[in-house]
Amino acid sequence: MISIRGKSYNLGIPIICRLTCSSLECTNKKEDFLYTHNASEINNNSYAGFILNSKDNVHLQTLAPVFQYCSDEIHFNEGDILFIEPRGKITKLYDPLSFTNSIFLTERCNCHCIMCPQPPKAHDEFDWVEFAIQSIKLMNPCTECIGITGGEPTLEWSGLLKVIETCSTYLPSTQIQLLTNARVLKDHIKAKELAEIGGGNLFVSIPLYSDVDSIHDKICGSKGVFWDCIEGIYNLERYGVDIELRTVIIKDNYRRMTQFAEFIYRNIPFVGNVAFMAMEPIGIALKNIKRLWIDPVDYMSQLSGAIKILWRRDMGVSIFNHQLCTLPQELWPLAKKSISDWKIVYFDECENCKEKESCGGFFFSAEKYRSRAISPIR
């Protein structure tokens, strides 16, 4: 999600709305407005106002202003779903042209991971579940995949089930990816509920950072997380839910990557994919950056060894958030363009690289923390 500041008009409460009838030609204007056809649409209970861009050939006297913006940081497309706050902030929640859309359910979490890019909060500022439900109703039914994230979305248990049920109704062919630490799912009844309501469209991505419980718990900032997670994984398998494991590579766990891979094969061989991820240097991760960040060059032998263990045993493997120039060429087919499109940047070194279009790029927050191996591939 990307946000900008501006000035809101006629808003007493935050609204969710879909951009329609938008004309996207560039202008020389330094600022612009979003309007609605009917002022009665603002602040209604459905949150489903319809926003009109002022560049259209419409008499502005017939429209009610909603938001004034002065920024090139956010680009609007017809079908975008926007969250507009009375205090003058607009957030793009959904882009019909993107393959990385996600639904945010809560800012709360039952872990405090030392490399979390989005620090959890004790309380939610908004009713994110209700906003998610209204957003789903406005999405393009042809959406291929939608993520559900937080915070820890399972802390909003009844809301999570309602959101998945709404997806089944309004997005019946859309794949749903739930990102969870799986602690709540150690309750097999909840795992069963999730499986039943998700049907065949649901798959669950679960972070697992080590084969050693104390290392995983230390990274997650809470005791008992490892075994909660393992129980949750087994419960999901018990009820036929597709599972992906994700591990973020940091100084605390890179030395045991080959043992980690052996652990997965011998104890969790049923997972559909194992993703090895580079860290996003923002939020809590940035605060702890000196103790966490390691150049991919310095763990490449461990990463290659772990991948070979899984790959030779016919397990799915992916590499996320790594630039191709940091990887041996034999691993390039496993490297995915995994960074959300609104977070991706390419630096000067990338301009003359022949593999730029195939490379997943960098997090925008990674300017100071990138590998010494970064160089154009010629």
Tens of pLDDT, residues 227-284 = 999 999 999 999 999 999 999 999 999 999 999 999 999 999 999 999 999 999 999 9
Neighbour order of strands in the sheet with 317-320: 102-104, 145-149, 175-179, 202-207, 242-248, 273-277, 317-320
Q: What tens digit of pLDDT does each residue of 122-177 get?
A: 999 999 999 999 999 999 999 999 999 999 999 999 999 999 999 999 999 999 99
Beta bridge partners of 181: none
Above 70 in pLDDT, residue 331? yes
Mean pLDDT of all residues in 287-315: 97
pLDDT score for 56: 46
- The residue among 100 and 38 whose pLDDT is bigger is 100
Residue 346: which pLDDT band, with cuts at 50, 70 and 90?
A: very high
Range ranked top by mean pLDDT from 20-29, 88-97, 207-216, 334-343: 207-216
Mean pLDDT of all residues in 199-204: 95
Q: How far apart are CA 8 and CA 14, in angstroms?
A: 10
Are 348 and 330 a contacting pair, CB within 8 Å? Answer: no
Degrees to nearest 5, angle at CA 128 with 156 and 140: 110
Mean pLDDT of all residues in 202-231: 98
Residue 344: which pLDDT band, with cuts at 50, 70 and 90?
A: very high
CA atoms within 13 A on the CB side of 68: 9
Above 90 in pLDDT, residue 31? no
Domains, the chain: 2-94 (no CATH), 102-336 (3.20.20.70)
pLDDT score for 267: 98
Residue 55: which pLDDT band, with cuts at 50, 70 and 90?
A: very low
pLDDT score for 360: 93
Q: pTM surpassing 0.75?
A: yes
Taking alpha carbons only, the member of 182, 104, 107, 100 closest to residue 146 is 100
Beta bridge partners of 35: 52, 65
Structure token pair of residue 139: 């999405």
pLDDT score for 72: 67
Residue 50: which pLDDT band, with cuts at 50, 70 and 90?
A: low
86-109 exposure pattern, b = at least 16 Cβ within 10 A, e = fewer: eebbbbbbbbbeeebbbbbbbbbb
- Would you say how long the chain is, in residues? 378
The mean of the pLDDT values for the chain is: 90
